[in-house]
Amino acid sequence: MKLSEIIPDGAISEDLQATAKEDVIKEMVGALVAAGKIQESVSKKIVKALMDREELGSTGIGSGVAVPHAKHDAITDLVCAFGRSKKGINFDALDGEPVFVVFLLLSSKSASGAHLEALAFISRLVRDDKYVRFLRDAKDVKDIRELLAEADQTFGGG
């Protein structure tokens, strides 16, 4: 699994406009619809699955990072969207701080192994405060894409 392969072109938002959890999730699911990875007809169901997961416990893991994730039958391939907020998002994070970096992960219900592998990989890279700072400070989508490709090398995506 490589981040650079599961985050499609068009699914990197360098400046998320939403500032509330559900609105950010809708914005990022919309980016995956625009990128052709999710059918618009099921986007509301995908948002609901993500929000249902949030009710079990916030995926705002602290240090300015959130990793909302869900499995859904309408998803065929493991797919991820990346979003960065310059303003900060109220994500009910475990540390109570705003979120600035969001990885939204979706997979089919039958892809539990790939889903867990992707979550573990993202978790490894966001534990590196320096890497998260680089993502927050990247000047544009091209820089973010390069940082994600570097993560595949540095943090062992494979």
Query: 43: part of which helix (H) or strand (E)?
Result: helix 43-56
pTM value? Answer: 0.95
Structural domain harbouring 10:
3-154
Number of domains in the chain: 1
Q: Give the integer Cα–Cα distance in Å for 114 and 80.
A: 12
Q: What is the number of other CB atoms lying within 10 angstroms of the CB of residue 135?
A: 21
Residue 98 belongs to a domain with what CATH number? 3.40.930.10
Please tell me the predicted confidence (pLDDT) of residue 94: 92
Please tell me the predicted confidence (pLDDT) of residue 157: 57
pLDDT along the chain (158 residues), means of 10: 90 95 98 95 97 95 95 93 96 94 95 90 91 95 93 74
Residue 84: strand pairing partners: 101
